[in-house]
Structure 1
């Protein structure tokens, strides 16, 4: 049974999350504060938005204009929960981050400059002056594991933790299909050509609002040439000599684990929600 369900709760009371730029306020009891208590605090509130239900209780988001200091509390980044939090908690926090980012980025109309207004019962920001509407943004992107015989291609960015390698990824550009994006990004990032693309699955990725479309592909030709400023290192790895890999909850790790399971004749792992 899912502990977290998104939606538009209308009940009073319940819980609230205080959020600022992919970080959450927490105390010794966790991240969820009694909503009415949090309302009584002197918070620089940008917006309040209903999120859904956690263990049957309504949850609202308090999007703050700046981080605040509160006795016994600290700020914790979303990535801290990628490794340790259970799945439903991370799904709730990831969803809250995406909604908070959307609220922050659409306070004012991009057409006339007027102040946007939230729409009751719908996830939409509306400009009363020129009728412009903005829904939460999703940015489609591809992520691909490339194989060559038994070897897999993994790369790292300088932003990664030391020693960690992952699959290649990139955002879809206007006018191209996701498959075209795979070919273009692989060519740009490592100078290779690939073939036999196989769609595997997708995952919402709240850093900050991506929809990752996962693929397996086979190497066709070319030598590895890392893209300057984007790829710090890329190389072929054998399955028995893999580097530090991405967290198990990520679709990048799932693409790797799926290939390894199929190669060994094991059941397919389950893609995390």
Structure 2
């Protein structure tokens, strides 16, 4: 329940962007927010403060709104809660009609689901499972550049899991399809909710097994083997891609000791 005198973090969402003040989520009492709070939803708590999701009013000025990426430097727990608000907003707008009968759906706040007004079925946020993997070849790491990254940064290989496929099979398939490299010793590293708009990134480490580097230029702009001395611009800290690269560099250094 919303407590009028309790400060909270506010995830005010408009078109999958968040309202930020000084590049941070506002930490305010409800009376300071200035919007109608009838449909506010608490999505979690962070360091004792509630974290709220609120849809921005229609016609609000877009000034002050920014991508979730602007919050990559904040604590991961709060970042993930902000991402949860983004994903719930995406559900609200993209799942307005029932896939079973076509009737209109409405948000059920108690379940954070969309309830069909016709057949009464409930529909929850749709998550897309993805793998992301850092591949090591002795003192080198496999890095890829994607056309969507306009800054020219490099990252590690990633892709969506297909139906009937294990995560490990997906890792091996994506690396082979995108770079021509076969991998072995695939092991789980960690995961990150990635609300762009509704992905769950599952990170892996793997070792080179076979093949020559042959990038699929329908998917990539470039792919390289880089040493720690020849690293290009990389995915930013706060991303699981960065964490995978960092861990691979640590493993390289360990072998040198």
Whether TM exceeds 0.5 here: the answer is: yes
1:198 and 1:123 mapped to 2: Cα distance? 33
Deviation at 1:29, TM superposition (A): 9.5
Alignment-derived partner of residue 15 in structure 2: 21
1:118-133 equivalent positions in 2, closer than 5 A: 118-133=107-122
Q: Deviations over 1:96-124 (max 9, x none)?
A: 11221122212221222222122242222
Is 1:117 the counterpart of 2:106? The answer is yes
Secondary structure of the corresponding residue to residue 245 of structure 2: helix
Is 1:209 the counterpart of 2:194? The answer is no
Secondary structure of the corresponding residue to residue 61 of structure 2: coil
1:226 and 1:22 mapped to 2: Cα distance? 32
Contact 2:155–2:235, Cα closer than 8 Å, also in 1: yes
Alignment-derived partner of residue 220 in structure 2: 231
**Structure 1 residues not aligned, in runs of 5+:** 1-9, 267-273
**Structure 2 residues not aligned, in runs of 5+:** none
Is 1:62 the counterpart of 2:51? The answer is no
Q: What TM-score do you get using the length of structure 1 for normalisation?
A: 0.81
Match of 1:145 among 111, 128, 134: 134
How many residues matched?
Answer: 251
Contact 2:80–2:193, Cα closer than 8 Å, also in 1: no
Is 1:179 the counterpart of 2:165? The answer is no
1:89 and 1:28 mapped to 2: Cα distance? 16
1:82-101 equivalent positions in 2, closer than 5 A: 82=72, 84-101=73-90
